[in-house]
Amino acid sequence: MKAADFDYSCAASIPEACRLLAGAHGEGRIIAGGQTLVPLLAMRLARPALLVDINRIADLRGIEFSDGAVTIKACTTQADALASDVVRKHVPLLAKALGHVGHSQTRNRGTIGGSLANADPVAEICMTALALDGEILSHGPKSQRTIPCSEFFRGAMTTALALDECLTAVRLPIWGHPGKAGSSFQEMSIRRSDFALVAAAVQAQFDEKGLCRHIAIVVGGCCPTPMRASAAANRLIGTNIEEPDLAEAARLLQETIAPRSDLHASADYRRRVAGELVMRAVRESRREAMGAD
């Protein structure tokens, strides 16, 4: 289908984008790469009166590493983030996740900020930002604010952003814990490059003896937003992550999620796969960390 009619403005600056949005009285939407929004327009699931294009705002592109964090500006394409040495070196979990995001044709247009702002329930970038305790930077007509990812994702395709607010960047803190780190992103989808049915993102830190000191586990496809698997993570901290620890952690995760059945997979299947993917991701993270010397 074709999108319904709308008006279009290309913003030259962030304040201009906010002004245009505010002038649309709630009927405006920002378009960045359009890889989520344009399908919604084509299917008429979204029908804004005005699209505000932020692609040509130079201030919204780039990846910076400073003050113990990697800051990725909103219109940085997923392809540029995937090719970034800074990302690979300092937030390797994101590089691994990006390999699962669509395919080269969508990554060349799709942006980091667009994925976060659209908050698809199985979006790999949203899962990673939550796992890494990321913060969303946004710009409103009158003020700027920082929103922790733990408070940003409110529901499927729903975030804490106001209608006249523009997401400008995501800040991903680099873990300062001592020890060896490893990470892994695991995903199950029907076809290569399809939406994930279930996905798991893990980053973990181990001491010299191989004891897990810090671990973040996030699952996608199990509820309307990316979800921290806190009980499973707590079960693994302080252990060597032997197979019984893993099985117990997976069981704790499976008890806390209530995935839905749909055309593609049943709730039971999703629950089983979530447990298995978390086990694989934790194993893989440990292998990467301990094999690094």
Partner 1 sequence: MSAHHVTLTVNGRTHTAQVSARLTLVDFLRDVLLLTGTHIGCEHGVCGACSILLNGKPVRSCLIFAVQADGMDVVTVEGLSPEPETLSILQDCFWETHALQCGFCTPGMLIAARALLAENPAPSEEQIREGIGGNLCRCTGYKPIVDAILLAAERMRRSNAGARDVGAD
From 7-15, 113-121, 175-183, 265-273, give the range in contact with partner 1 by CB under 8 A. 7-15
Q: According to the binding rule CB under 8 A, does residue 6 interact with partner 1?
A: yes
Collapsing DSSP states into helix, strand and coil, what is residue 64?
A: strand
Query: What CA–CA distance (Å, rounded) separates 214 from 125?
Result: 21
Q: Choose which of 15, 39, 68, 155 interacts with partner 1 (CB under 8 A).
A: 39
Q: Is 192 buried (19+), middle (13-18) or exposed (0-12) by CB count in 10 A?
A: exposed
Q: Site residues for partner 1, window 95-114 (CB under 8 A)?
A: 102-106, 108-109
Q: Is 25 buried (19+), middle (13-18) or exposed (0-12) by CB count in 10 A?
A: exposed
CB of 33 to partner 1, least distance (A): 8
Q: According to the binding rule CB under 8 A, does residue 5 interact with partner 1?
A: yes
Collapsing DSSP states into helix, strand and coil, what is residue 214?
A: strand
Beta pairing class for 50-53 and 28-31:
parallel
CB of 155 to partner 1, least distance (A): 22
Q: According to the binding rule CB under 8 A, does residue 53 interact with partner 1?
A: yes
Contact predicate 285/202, CB 8 Å:
yes
CB of 82 to partner 1, least distance (A): 13
CB of 92 to partner 1, least distance (A): 19
CB of 30 to partner 1, least distance (A): 13
Instruction: Give the residue with the Cβ less far from partner 1, 34 or 182.
Output: 34
Q: According to the binding rule CB under 8 A, does residue 193 interact with partner 1?
A: yes
Contact predicate 112/72, CB 8 Å:
yes
Q: According to the binding rule CB under 8 A, does residue 269 interact with partner 1?
A: no
Contact predicate 100/128, CB 8 Å:
no
Contacts of 131 (CB under 8 A, 6+ apart): 93, 201, 202, 203, 216, 217, 218, 228
From 3-11, 158-166, 225-233, 276-284, give the range in contact with partner 1 by CB under 8 A. 3-11
CB of 176 to partner 1, least distance (A): 35
Query: What CA–CA distance (Å, rounded) separates 28 from 8?
Result: 10
Q: According to the binding rule CB under 8 A, does residue 138 interact with partner 1?
A: no
Contact string 212-231 vs partner 1 (x = CB under 8 A): --------------------
Contacts of 283 (CB under 8 A, 6+ apart): 184, 241, 246
Q: According to the binding rule CB under 8 A, does residue 290 interact with partner 1?
A: no
CB of 120 to partner 1, least distance (A): 13
The pair phi, psi for residue 12, each rounded to 5°, is -95, -15
Q: According to the binding rule CB under 8 A, does residue 192 interact with partner 1?
A: yes
* Binding interface with partner 1 (CB under 8 A): 1-8, 10, 31, 34-35, 38-39, 42-43, 51, 53, 55, 79, 102-106, 108-109, 192-193
